[in-house]
Structure 1
Amino acid sequence: MKKYLKYLAVCAIGTSFFSAAFAQSNEMVKVLKEANKNKIDVFIGNKPFTSFLYPDTLEKPVLYPVFTAEGTDVTRGFPLNPKSGDPTDHPHHIGIWFNFENVNGLDFWNNSYAIPKEKKSQYGWIKTDKILDLKSGAKGILAYHANWVNQQNSILLEETTRFEFTQVGHNRLIDRTTTLKANTDVNFTDAKDGLLGMRLAHQLQMPTKEDQKFTDDKGNVTVVKGGTDNVATGNYLTSEGKTGNDAWSTRGNWCKVYGKMGADSVSVVIIDHPQNPNYPTFWHARGYGLFAANPLGEKVFTNGKSAKNLQLKKGQSVTFRYRIVVEEGKNSISTAQIKKFTADFARKN
């Protein structure tokens, strides 16, 4: 409660900034369903922002790709649309997604086409069955309903998610509110892989002098020799001042990844909300391009000192809220700007 009141106090500081910024944001947001496809496109000022993909061939719905206002794609292309030089590890990392590694023993996070048929029973699917709302305007709205199911299509959780897409000045924003309602007694057992995830473009990975080993879901190992990657330029910064690899497993109310893409600096910021469980979140931010906020991985991130096991009885629900800011310009988005976006988001219920 004290942390939340502190944020309310900070909110007043950013009021004039946001009033001016929104006044400058006259770009229409268009949210359009593609005919005969499980795909919804989002445009800002007639320029693509992202697409919501929910075909039966994917094990969860995703936002992919994601573009800055200048048209730069900040997401990895593989496996849906591989780009030259794309790393091919972790095929379940697609765009932006929301799921978890251990829900009643089922792994929703790591499921992908790479899982052998005989092992699929250990994994869960998220199947979108209804688009609840689509609105275009100064703010784009997309809401959907999905079921978290096992391989027999028994429903563990019902998901209702609402996206708000906006542009503030030169910054593009995605505000996500996801409510999970238990259709049976559900345990989220503390685990490393969750909850809101994003796979970054190669340029936003961190350069390294050390060899890196990646193991895919078939057990194949890929080795990237240290010092040979001339594409990666990324770095992390958290609200608590943690940078680079030191950001991983630490708490913070926001985390930024930034790097050079072409001639410009590109930034992606994930912002936590004070009403989220186990706030502020832990950052599952990896140098190889995984950028995730996971409040339910406390046991791993604290080396077993404490744990966060979330339990829902049948009929109970839990809500998670996140803001994602995507920006491109001469310089990376400043900490002062991020704090204003954070304070604004804290006011939203």
Structure 2
Amino acid sequence: MRHQCISTPFISSFALLCGSLLAATSPLAAQQYIPPRCEIIPQANHEVSLRIDGVEKLRWNHDSRYPRPFLFPLNGPRGEPLTRMGHPGAPDHEHHRSVWFAHHKVNGLTFWSDNTQTRIRQTQWYRYRDGDDEAIMAVALSWEDADGVQLMQQDVVISLFPLDDPETAIDEHAVEFYLTFRPGQGRENVTLEKTNFGVLAVRVAKSISAYFGDGRLTNDVGTQDEKNLHEKPARWMDYSGPVALPPIASGAGRDRQVIQEGITFFDHPGNPSYPTHWHVRQDGWMGAAPTMQFDIVITNEKPLTLRYLLHAHHGTMDLQRAEQLHEQFASRPGFRIRKPVAGESHRHFEVERLEK
């Protein structure tokens, strides 16, 4: 049998052709997918991960085994939690779950502690919206009495966005809250009664606590410590202190690196009690208390909107930078939740910034 020889040029041409075809059909050859900087990724067990550049900064927890939803962890710029679950020394304060919504007197009922049959539960999510500038989560909460009767409805919009410090080039981030309260179904009104417990509270990590750690409370004019700040008005409140990095990042055991980080909690000029009074404690928590001085009656014609901002920052609070962030927050448009319009398919709701 006679064998035919295939010339080298033919083999080379064939190889080049195959390579070209493979390259043309390879995913790497197509326009590469670039993920948005800010993402919201649902997880198992009724949890939602909020991320920047693929790194989790915040997690929403709304499982029914808890009496109310909460955010944990709220991580700092270096990835360690700035908040904690529960009080470091009081087992009857398990309701202090990191960052949470609650109120001590709603139509005479308490939604504050765990020693009650009232519940705040998520009834649906409206929208998880990714983006390069911010990730936006919108959900509906129902405030219910022991019999499951709805007293109040709450729409929650949470935005996570990057805040890079221009002085240090350290990646920081902020969490914005846009909260709308309405009477429950079939009700004409609901009252948030006078109390200093509610509506949004933060339990900081033990090391950041002034009593259990080495942290410090500071307000918008630089005044410090609980005795000077508790039940006093301020445009914002800050809790900063030491945070120990894990051994994998900083060395083993006693060689762990300790840095300073904190949370600045901003009130908004549009809130009815601005500048709000604050419930703050040396043991490690701070809460904006819009009803510390008076009741707030919510009607269908006049729903209540509250806006807050949490800035997770490196170092201790910089008053000048906090002033700038407060001004930016004050002028930033709020949100609206709406039904989709033509061209917005495959979704039941849309959430977007209001026009200025």
- TM-score bin, normalised by smaller chain: 0.7 to 0.9
Assess if the C-alpha contact under 8 Å between 2:86 and 2:95 holds in 1: no
Assess if the C-alpha contact under 8 Å between 2:36 and 2:130 holds in 1: no
Cα distance in 2 for partners of 1:202, 1:233 equals 9
SS at match of 1:341: helix
Aligned to 1:259: 241
Corresponding letter in the other structure for 2:177: R
Assess if the C-alpha contact under 8 Å between 1:258 and 1:265 holds in 2: yes
Structure 1 window deviating more from structure 2 (273-282 vs 241-250): it is 241-250
Assess if the C-alpha contact under 8 Å between 2:279 and 2:287 holds in 1: yes
The CA deviation string for residues 97-148 of structure 1, in whole angstroms up to 9 with x for no partner, is 12210000110111x2xx2xxxx3xx52111011101012221110001111
- Point out which structure has higher relative CO (alpha carbons under 8 A, 6+ apart): 1
Q: 2:102 aligns with which of 99, 109, 112?
A: 99
2:74 equivalent to 1:66? yes
Structure 1 window deviating more from structure 2 (314-323 vs 196-205): it is 314-323
Aligned to 1:3: none
SS at match of 1:102: strand
Q: Which runs of 5+ in 1 are unaligned?
A: 1-25, 80-84, 208-228, 299-307
SS at match of 1:344: helix
CA drift at 1:89? 4.7
Output aligned runs, 1:266-285, within 5 Å: 266-285=261-280
Q: 2:223 aligns with which of 242, 248, 259?
A: 242
Output aligned runs, 1:109-128, within 5 Å: 109-110=112-113, 112=114, 115=115, 120=116, 123-128=117-122
Find the structure with the greater CA-based Rg. 2
Aligned residues: CA RMSD: 1.8
Assess if the C-alpha contact under 8 Å between 1:162 and 1:178 holds in 2: yes
Assess if the C-alpha contact under 8 Å between 1:194 and 1:292 holds in 2: yes
Aligned to 1:159: 154
Assess if the C-alpha contact under 8 Å between 1:182 and 1:316 holds in 2: no
Aligned to 1:147: 142
Aligned to 1:221: none
Q: 2:40 aligns with which of 13, 27, 31?
A: 31
Cα distance in 2 for partners of 1:55, 1:313 equals 29
Corresponding letter in the other structure for 1:132: Y
Output aligned runs, 1:76-95, within 5 Å: 76-78=84-86, 88-95=91-98
Cα distance in 2 for partners of 1:317, 1:124 equals 22
Corresponding letter in the other structure for 2:42: K
SS at match of 1:57: coil
Aligned to 2:31: none
Count of residue pairs the alignment pairs up: 275
Cα distance in 2 for partners of 1:241, 1:33 equals 39
Cα distance in 1 for partners of 2:89, 2:241 equals 16
Cα distance in 2 for partners of 1:95, 1:290 equals 9
Aligned to 1:15: none
Aligned to 2:126: 132
The CA deviation string for residues 186-219 of structure 1, in whole angstroms up to 9 with x for no partner, is 1211012111101111011113xxxxxxxxxxxx
Cα distance in 2 for partners of 1:291, 1:99 equals 13
The CA deviation string for residues 268-300 of structure 1, in whole angstroms up to 9 with x for no partner, is 0000000001111011111111111111112xx
Among all aligned residue pairs of Structure 1 and Structure 2, give the percentage whose two residues are the same amino acid. 20
Cα distance in 1 for partners of 2:40, 2:289 equals 29
CA drift at 1:77? 3.5
Assess if the C-alpha contact under 8 Å between 1:87 and 1:202 holds in 2: no
Aligned to 1:339: 323
Corresponding letter in the other structure for 2:221: E
Aligned to 1:56: 64
Assess if the C-alpha contact under 8 Å between 1:101 and 1:191 holds in 2: yes
Cα distance in 1 for partners of 2:79, 2:72 equals 14
CA 1:315 to 1:153, structure 2 compared with 1: closer, same or farther past 3 Å? farther
SS at match of 1:107: strand
Aligned to 1:210: none
CA drift at 1:88? 3.7
Cα distance in 2 for partners of 1:88, 1:27 equals 41
Cα distance in 2 for partners of 1:313, 1:334 equals 39
Assess if the C-alpha contact under 8 Å between 1:61 and 1:128 holds in 2: yes
2:185 equivalent to 1:203? no
Aligned to 1:190: 194
What TM-score comes out, normalization by structure 2 length?
A: 0.74
CA 1:108 to 1:65, structure 2 compared with 1: closer, same or farther past 3 Å? same
